[in-house]
Copies of this chain bind each other. A is one copy, B any other.
Amino acid sequence: MNFPGYGAPAAGGYPGGFPGQQQDPLYGYFTAVAGQDGQISAEELQTCLTQANFSGGYRPFNIETCRLMISMLDRDMSCSMGFNEFKELWAVLSGWKQHFMSIDRDMSGTVDPQEMSQAVSSMGYRLSPQAMNCIIKRYSSNGKISFDDYVACCVKLRSLTDVFRKRDQAQQGVATFQYDDFIQCTMSI
C-alpha cells in the first residue's frame, strides 16, 4: 500500500528554505528549544511549533499529538527528535496542513466527517466503512474534526500502518504478532 496523498514535499520544500543549516529558519525554531544534546522532547516540540506559529489560525497542538509526532519518526526509540527528523516532520505536517486548509473552506477550524473520510481515502488508505467510521468517531468532537485531531489521526494511522506492514511480509494484509511485540509497538504510538 502506497501513500500517494501524504504530500510530503522534497527536503527544503518548506516556505523560506535556504541551503545551509545556519540560514535555515527551521534551524532557528529548533535550536531555540533544543537542549545541548541537539534533541527535542514532546514538550519542546509543542513549544517549538507554537513559537513557529505552525498552526496559524488553528488551535496549537495538544501535548499528546506532539508525542505521536515524535513517535512517528523515532527510529532509535529515544522519544526525542533531532534536527533532521524535525525537518522531515515539518514537511509532512505542511502537506497535511495544506490538505486540511483545502477542505476547511470556510476556515472554521474544523472539517466534517465526510470530508475527513475523503481525506483519509485520498491518502491511499483502503479501509472498510466500519473502520473509517470508527476512526472518525474517535477523532471528532461534537461531530467535527479539528486540525489538531486531524493531525493526530494522520500520524497514528501512518505509524500503525508502518508497524503492520513491517510484519506483513507477504504483503497480503495479514500479520501475526507476539503479545510483547504488539504491546511494544502499539503502546509507543
Contact = CB atoms under 8 A, between A and B. Distances in A.
Interface of A: 41-43, 62-64, 67, 71, 77-79, 125, 127-128, 130-131, 134-135, 137-138, 140-142, 153, 156-157, 160-161, 164, 168, 173-184, 186-189
Count copies of this chain in the complex. Answer: 2
A183 B62 contact: no
Contact of A137 (B63, B77, B130): B77
A156 B168 CA distance: 24
Nearest to A168: B179
A40 B52 CA distance: 36
Residue in A43, A130, A157, A180 whose Cβ sees the most chain B Cβ within 10 Å = A180
A183 B41 contact: no
Contacts of A43: 141-142
23 contacts: A42-B141, A62-B63, A67-B138, A71-B138, A77-B137, A79-B137, A127-B183, A127-B184, A128-B184, A130-B184, A135-B187, A135-B188, A137-B188, A138-B188, A156-B187, A160-B182, A164-B179, A168-B179, A173-B178, A175-B182, A176-B176, A176-B177, A186-B189
Nearest to A79: B137
Contacts of A71: 138
Contacts of A189: 186
A186 B184 contact: no
Contacts of A156: 187
Contacts of A125: 183
A41 B144 CA distance: 13
A67 B140 CA distance: 10
Which 3 pairs of residues, A with B, have the shortest CB-CB distance?
A64-B64, A131-B184, A173-B179
